[in-house]
């Protein structure tokens, strides 16, 4: 993560036109560093929100929330049951790989993947769907209104 933050700062600092910090062709610009800092703050905010979400919710509740939030896409033909099943199986498989203590190289990973493709016992996957509270519905409507307002202001 530190490497990504450093690269964002370098790319914005040295590729955005503006006022140079010192008189040189290889100098970063003030605007570039300001835009880079703004992107760093945004990225850190997203990471902090994601960490808080992962800390507060179990995987079952997280899948339930995503399942409910994808309800409007069913009108467009999006199969949310299939998506939830694929995501839960992917998370279970990646969790099993992360629990192994030895580091996998490319060949080890491919052998592990080939072993996973062999028929094995069936697993039951269930998604606990909770109804939304009044606060949740109010928050969703406020978010929808904010997105709609933003789109109207762009026109």
Write the pLDDT tens digit of every residue in 14-35. Answer: 999 999 999 888 899 999 999 9
CA–CA dist 32, 10 (Å, integer): 9
Instruction: Please answer whether residues 13 and 33 qualify as being in contact, where contact means their C-beta atoms are separated by less than 8 angstroms.
Output: yes
In a domain, residue 133? The reply is: no
Q: What is the pLDDT of residue 112?
A: 67
Positive or negative, the CA dihedral 104, 108, 110, 116 is: negative
Number of H helices, E strands in the chain: 6, 0
Q: Which position has the higher pLDDT, 122 or 148?
A: 148
Same domain for 5 and 51, yes or no, is yes
> Token digits for 48?
């902090």
Instruction: Please answer whether residues 123 and 91 qualify as being in contact, where contact means their C-beta atoms are separated by less than 8 angstroms.
Output: no
In a domain, residue 127? The reply is: no
Same domain for 69 and 86, yes or no, is yes
Domain of residue 80: give its range.
60-116
In a domain, residue 98? The reply is: yes
Instruction: Please answer whether residues 46 and 53 qualify as being in contact, where contact means their C-beta atoms are separated by less than 8 angstroms.
Output: no
Residues 120-134 as b/e (b if ≥16 CB within 10 A, e otherwise) read eeeeeeebeeeeeee
CA–CA dist 17, 33 (Å, integer): 10
In a domain, residue 123? The reply is: no
> How many folded domains does the chain comprise?
2
Global pTM reads 0.61
Same domain for 48 and 32, yes or no, is yes
- Residue at token pair 């762009």: 154
Q: What is the pLDDT of residue 31?
A: 94
Same domain for 30 and 79, yes or no, is no
**Among 55, 47, 50, 82, CA closest to 67:** 82
CA–CA dist 1, 47 (Å, integer): 10
Summarised one tens digit per residue, pLDDT across range 117-133 is 555 666 676 777 877 78
**How far from 147 is each of 39, 71, 140, 154, CA to CA, in Å?**
20, 18, 11, 11
């Amino acid at each position: 993560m530190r490497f990504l933050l450093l690269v964002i700062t370098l790319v914005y600092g040295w590729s955005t036109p503006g006022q140079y910090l010192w008189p040189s062709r290889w100098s970063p610009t003030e605007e570039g560093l300001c835009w880079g800092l703004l992107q760093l703050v945004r990225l850190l905010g997203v990471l902090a929100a994601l960490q808080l979400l992962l800390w507060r919710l179990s995987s079952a509740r997280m899948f339930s929330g995503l399942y409910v939030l994808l309800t409007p896409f069913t009108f467009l033909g999006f199969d949310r049951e299939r998506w939830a099943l694929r995501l839960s199986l992917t998370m279970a498989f990646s969790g099993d790989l992360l629990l192994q203590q030895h580091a996998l190289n490319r060949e080890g990973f491919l052998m592990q993947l080939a072993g996973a493709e062999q028929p094995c016992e069936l697993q039951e996957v269930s998604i606990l769907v909770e109804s939304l509270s009044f606060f949740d519905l109010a928050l969703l409507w406020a978010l929808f209104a904010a997105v709609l307002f933003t789109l109207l202001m762009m026109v």
